[in-house]
Chains A and B, each alone.
Chain A
Amino acid sequence: MALNNLPHKLALTGLSLCVTLSPLALAQSVEDKGRSIMEEYERRDTGWQDMQAEMQMILRNAQGQESIREIRMKSLEQENDGDKSLTIFDEPRDVKGTAFLSFSHINKPDDQWLYLPALGRVKRISSRNKSGPFMGSEFSYEDMGSFEIDKYTYKYLTEEACGKLTCYVVESYPVEKTSGYTRRISWVDTTEYRMQKLDFYDRKNERLKTLNFTGYQQYVGQYWRADKMEMQNHQNGKSTVLAWKDYRFKQGLDERDFNKNALKRAR
């Protein structure tokens, strides 16, 4: 799940890498250059250990009608695998206390469980659903899942202005066949390697959605997180806004906070 990872990651030695990247680029193939930019993006967001935040999810249909969901979430960074995450629903009221546990993986389907308080039981969720929508929103699981460099292959496209910044524009192609996309195009700013914009292309290679990131803030002196992520579906006119607040890092969460028992205690 690791919604928090989406914005991006921070490198340990950002500056030095920045310097070495540019001359290298001349000799690199566009595939290598694309991958090295995204590696840098991932590197800069590594080492945060654990993270918690609160989020409001605002769903809008083509007519502008809204629906608001409130969610708390926790993530645990994993080495050499996708992150673990726990999501707790507070609103709508009839799903309050429902909790979702996800172990994200790179080369195999994620493990997912849902705790239903009304039933008092934990249910495992089938996992061919990566491309499916998350809570009826315009975000799919794969949009929400943690970024892992090997989930995609890459191609560097260009460098262009994005707002006041300059961005690398990199195309990425999902490795997993179950993905709902043929490709994504990322705009990553050249100064801090923050994801500024993402375009998603559906299975017939038509632009499906655009995700915009705004209100970046830096936490614990390292990690950049966007306050607002807005996903616009171009085909059905619907949109979903994720409004984040209360980011906390390195609070000492561990594996015991991310298992089936933790699910039941989550509320």
Chain B
Amino acid sequence: MSERLFNFVLKRPLIALLIGIALIVTAAAGAQKLVFKSDYRVFFGPENPQLQAFEAMQKVYTKSDNVAFVIAPDNKTIFSQEHLEAIQKITEASWQVPYSTRVDSITNYQYSHAEEDDLIVEDLVYEPRSLDQNQLDEAKAIAIGDPLIEKRLISSKGHVAVVNVTLQLPGINPVEEIPAVANKVREIRAQVEQEYPGLDIMLSGVAMMNTSFAEATLEDNATLVPAMFLVVVVTIGLMLRTITGTFATVVVVISSIVATMGLAGWMGFYLTGPSASAPTIILTLAVADCIHILTTMFYEMRHGVKKKQAMLDSLRINLKPIFLTSATTAIGFLAMNFSDSPPFRDLGNMVAMGVMLAFAFSVTIFPALLMLLPLRVKQKEEGDKDMMLGLSAFVIKNRRVLLPAMTVVLIAISIFVPKNELNDDFVKYFDESVEFRQATDFMQDNLSGLTTIELSIDSGVTSGINNPAFLQVVEDFSNWMREQPETDHVNTITDIIKRLNKNMHGDDPSWYKLPDNQELAAQYLLLYEMSLPYGLDLNNQLNVDKSSTRVVVTLKNQTTNEQLAIEQRIIEWFSQNAPQYTATLASPTLMFAHIGQRNIISMISGTVIALLLISLVLGFALRSVRFGLLSLLPNILPATVAFGIWGLSVGQIGLGLSIVASMTLGIVVDDTVHFLSKYLHARRNKGADSHGAVQYAFGSVGRALWVTTFVLVCGFMILAQSTFKVNAEMGLMTAITILIALIVDFLFLPPLLMKLDTNNSVQDSKISQQDSDNDKGVAHGSEQPAA
């Protein structure tokens, strides 16, 4: 079957190429269906319990998707005619933002106060240009002294203000909804900044975060993919010194990416931050197949074989090993289907598809292209072989030192794996170069950030929130929460009720307390509700039958573990102080706080299954249970050690890193396959002892291994430059893991083999007997002449 295919490809390269191009173009057409979903909720599967809790809460109260204009005047004074006017303009204009349902700012803040016997509820700032200095100072004192808006809409020093726009996104077409919001708020910002040059206006909020997911990824793909292509071209050009080969490789790589993305489009995939890194990863992985085919072919040609025959030989020799390594790589990526987070499942499936397509193209359109293009081989002595032989001599000579030394080092580093602490801060998913990150950090430093916990406290009875006992619990909780060192702001209905009570008693401060009967509380709230203007109702704090209320706690910057600890403390507070009421906790912060852990747990089973599958494949490929088991060590060690290094240096792992173990497994296994198969080939067929076999393995695949490792490390290091941290950390960690894999294969595996495999005769001699009869066997097939 494969013979006939190769013969066809080599005899009719043009036809093969045209068929290939037709298929690729058909597949690629699907790419136009591929859209980017910029919504942080894509990180959560529909069955995610934290997402469900949050969505349930959003249906009861107002949604909490928002845009925040962060307004920082150069002269650090918000309370001036000019700047208040600017804030009022932003507030007014924000009603025009698509899907906006509510706009909160210090100007439209519904300030209630007593005037003779009447309750006045009105905008805190109505006509900014008419205010004199006294009135400005008064407004400032009111705003900064009000627990409802201090640190939410105005900084404690009165130098930074926020206009918060609440959005009710229909979620029908997230591809258009979020950009429409982003465009409008940017337009408003540009207008106001032009009119008021002394103002610096930044944009934060959930909608801006969602926008950044798409924009950061787009920017990434515009810089990272070309950079990676450059690395591929330079590497292959330098290593193999062939323009035609480099060109053909680039064609295969582009075809793999284009076909994969197109097929993904046809299959109804959508793009997200993580899955949009698929092109970079496919690009990195697809190169290896071509390198292997080229090296063998050049080796043959240098030994006087004609071009066509050299290619046929190369295809015969390489078909099985590159299929095997592609398959194990695909298995590693397919294991990402165990992830709790859909974007990573998509990434896994897309890369697996890309890797298999790259394999298919490498044995079809790649040879076809090389047949059609001129190809010459320079006669040149290889210096690397000596280098590799030197390395093998060093390893053999120092094996008694290397084995214990490497063992100690590897274990010592692995000890630090538990030092890794879970941390998924969605703000930090973007590095400091991203505008959203800058705006959010600034907002967090001066007011309060996006780290929130929302609580719905349920009294269990209609109108129960007016009950003095219930209000007291909400008040006690809010006070307790405000005392916690992690708290920046608490938004609670009790502040409004206390203020109304004071207003109803001629603004006497001694009445700033909860009313002592239900009727009073209910009637105050009714009065207040009936005084509120468009869009500023209490639906964001009270449910429809007033049986429950929402309290929003904004926290200082916290790690995930700290957030989970606070969540636990809140739950405990309620079980100790108010067991009669139900408190439900939910928020995007909590969703992200739990996703890392959930994902790691689900990925552990995925990784174990991938490991079993890959070991099984290896056992068959090497035709030895013993070496199949032995291969586990070089396969598991790299990720373990890499996480140890991470624990030592960074110490914080999130969503992106939780998938690295399974993802790298399929890649690092390739090195092991190549090394062990050469080793066994020498042992079984050439009668070499373990020393000789190690030397043979180094000599035949050493160069190919370090070249492919170099390309892989470069590729993932380029991904590590992503502004989207989930991808950047994933890339960096994968690069580290692959590098360690090479070190393990060169410095640890050979001494280990020489230690364990001491018999002069090969133990499984029966198998080796068959092996020698079957020269085109899998193990032998993976032979890579050292270029």
List residues of A whose CB falls within 8 A of some B CB. 59-63, 65-67, 89, 92-95, 98, 100, 112, 114, 116-119, 121, 123-126, 128-136, 140, 178, 180, 202-204, 206, 235-238
Q: How far apart sit A135 and B523, CA to CA, in the bound complex (Å)? A: 11
Complex contacts, A125 vs chain B, CB 8 Å? 119, 121, 527, 530-531
* C-alpha gap A116/B532 in the complex (Å): 17
B168 at the interface (CB under 8 A from A): yes
The interface stretch among B254-262, B417-425, B543-551, B622-630 is: B543-551
A168→B95 CA distance, assembly (Å)? 31
Query: Please, what's the 1-or-0 string for B566-596, where 1 marks a CB less than 8 Å from any CB in chain A?
Result: 0000000000000000000000000000000
Report Cα–Cα, A118/B526, bound state, in Å.
12
Q: Known contacts being A204-B95, A235-B99, is A92 close to B543, with CB within 8 Å? A: no
**Contact pattern, B 522-536, Cβ under 8 Å of A = 1, otherwise 0:** 111011011111111
Smallest Cβ-Cβ distance to B530: which chain A residue: A125
14 contacts between A and B (CB under 8 A): A61-B544, A63-B60, A67-B544, A94-B519, A95-B523, A112-B530, A117-B519, A124-B117, A124-B118, A124-B119, A203-B96, A206-B98, A235-B99, A235-B170
**CB interface residues, B 449-474, toward A, < 8 Å:** 462-463, 466
Q: Find out whether the CB atom of A116 lies under 8 angstroms from the CB atom of B527.
A: yes
**Does A119 contact B504, Cβ atoms closer than 8 Å?**
yes
B466–chain A nearest beta-carbon distance, Å: 5
Complex Cα distance A237/B170, Å?
Answer: 10
Nearest Cβ in chain B — how far from A22, in angstroms?
A: 38
Is B100 among interface residues, defined by CB-CB distance under 8 A?
yes
- Which residues from B are CB-within-8-Å of A136? 529, 537-539, 542, 544, 546
A124 to B503, CA, bound (A): 13
Inter-chain contact B544/A117, CB cutoff 8 Å: no
- CB-CB nearest in chain A for B168: A235
**Contact B98–A129 (Cβ < 8 Å):** no
B56 within 8 Å of A by Cβ? yes
A59 vs chain B, min Cβ distance (A): 5
Residues 744-784 of B contacting A (Cβ, < 8 Å): none
> Are A180 and B534 closer than 8 Å at their CB atoms?
yes
Task: Tell me whether B526 and A132 are in contact (CB under 8 A).
Answer: no
A112 CA / B531 CA spacing, docked (Å): 10
For B527, the chain A residues whose CB sits under 8 A away are 114, 116, 123, 125
Identify 7 new A-B residue pairs, CB closer than 8 A, beyond the known A94-B463, A114-B527, A117-B523.
A59-B544, A95-B522, A116-B527, A119-B523, A132-B530, A133-B532, A136-B538
Q: When the two chains form their complex, are residues A132 and B533 in contact, meaning their CB atoms are under 8 A apart?
A: yes
Contact B530 A93 (CB under 8 A): no
Q: Find out whether the CB atom of A236 lies under 8 angstroms from the CB atom of B532.
A: no
A239 to chain B, nearest CB (A): 10
Residues of chain A with a CB closer than 8 A to B521's CB: 94
- Count of chain B residues with a beta carbon within 8 Å of a chain A beta carbon: 51
- The residue on B at minimum CB distance from A178 is B533
Taking CB atoms, residues of chain B closer than 8 Å to A133 are 529, 532, 537, 539
Closest Cβ neighbor of B118 among chain A residues: A124
Specify which chain A residues have a CB less than 8 angstroms from the CB of B518 in the assembled complex: 94
In the complex, are the beta carbons of B532 and A238 less than 8 A apart? no
List the B residue with the shortest CB-CB distance to A131. B534
Question: Is the pair A203, B523 in contact by a Cβ cutoff of 8 Å?
Answer: no
- The reply to whether the CB of B517 lies closer than 8 angstroms to some CB of chain A is yes
What is the distance, in angstroms, from A176's C-beta to the closest C-beta of chain B?
Answer: 12
CA of A61 to CA of B539 in the docked complex: distance in angstroms? 10
Checking B529, B536, B543 against A135 with a beta-carbon cut-off of 8 angstroms, the contacting residue is B529
Q: Contact check, B534 vs A118: say whether CB atoms are below 8 A apart.
A: no
Nearest-neighbor residue (CB-CB) of B95 within chain A: A203
Is B120 interfacial (CB-CB < 8 Å)? yes
> In the assembled complex, which residues on chain A have CB atoms less than 8 Å from the CB atom of B504?
119, 123
Complex Cα–Cα for A203 and B530 (A): 20
Closest 9 interchain pairs by CB? Answer: A67-B545, A131-B534, A94-B522, A118-B519, A180-B534, A124-B118, A116-B523, A62-B59, A203-B95
**Residue in B59, B123, B517, B542 whose Cβ sees the most chain A Cβ within 10 Å:** B59
Contacts of A206 in B (CB 8 A): 98-99
Q: Please, which residues of chain A bring their CB within 8 A of the CB of B478?
A: none
For residue B173, give the distance in angstroms from its CB to the closest CB of chain A.
Answer: 14
- Which residue of chain B is the closest to A115 with respect to CB atoms? B523
B144 at the interface (CB under 8 A from A): no
In the assembled complex, the Cα of A152 lies from the Cα of B170 at a distance in Å of: 30
Interface residue B439 (Cβ < 8 Å from any Cβ of A): no
| Complex Cα–Cα for A133 and B529 (A) | 8
Q: Which of B530, B531, B544 contacts A60 (CB 8 A)?
A: B544
What is the distance, in angstroms, from A149's C-beta to the closest C-beta of chain B?
23
- Residue of A whose beta carbon sits closest to that of B62: A236
Q: State whether B522 touches A92 (Cβ < 8 A).
A: yes
Rounded to whole angstroms, the CA-CA distance of A56 and B527 in the bound complex is 20
A61 and B119 alpha carbons, distance in the complex (Å): 29
Cα A199 to Cα B533 in complex, Å, equals 20
A18 and B509 CA atoms in complex are apart in Å by: 63
The CA of A123 and the CA of B120, in the complex, are separated in Å by 9
B97 beta carbon closer than 8 Å to chain A: yes
Instruction: Output the nearest chain A residue to B184 by Cβ-Cβ distance.
Output: A204
Nearest Cβ on chain B to A207's Cβ, whole angstroms: 12
Distance (whole angstroms) from the CB of B315 to the closest CB of chain A? 61
- Which residues in A have their C-beta under 8 angstroms from that of B101? 235-236
User: A131 contacts which of B119, B123, B519, B533 (Cβ < 8 Å)?
Assistant: B533
The verdict on B122 contacting chain A, using a C-beta distance below 8 Å, is yes
Q: Which B466-524 residues have a C-beta within 8 angstroms of A?
A: 466, 504, 517-524
Q: Which of A124, A204, A237 contacts B100 (CB under 8 A)?
A: A204
| Residues of chain B lying within 8 A (CB to CB) of residue A60 | 544
Residues of A within 8 A of B97 (CB): 204
Q: Are B526 and A128 in touch, CB under 8 angstroms? A: no
> In the complex, A98 Cα to B589 Cα: how many Å?
41
Cα distance, A119 to B526, chains bound together (Å): 13
Which residues of the other chain, A, contact B520 by a CB distance below 8 angstroms?
A: 116, 118-119
Tell me which residues across on chain B come within 8 A of A178, comparing CB atoms: 533
Residues of B within 8 A of A59 (CB): 544-545
CB-CB under 8 A from B59, the residues of chain A are 61-63, 237
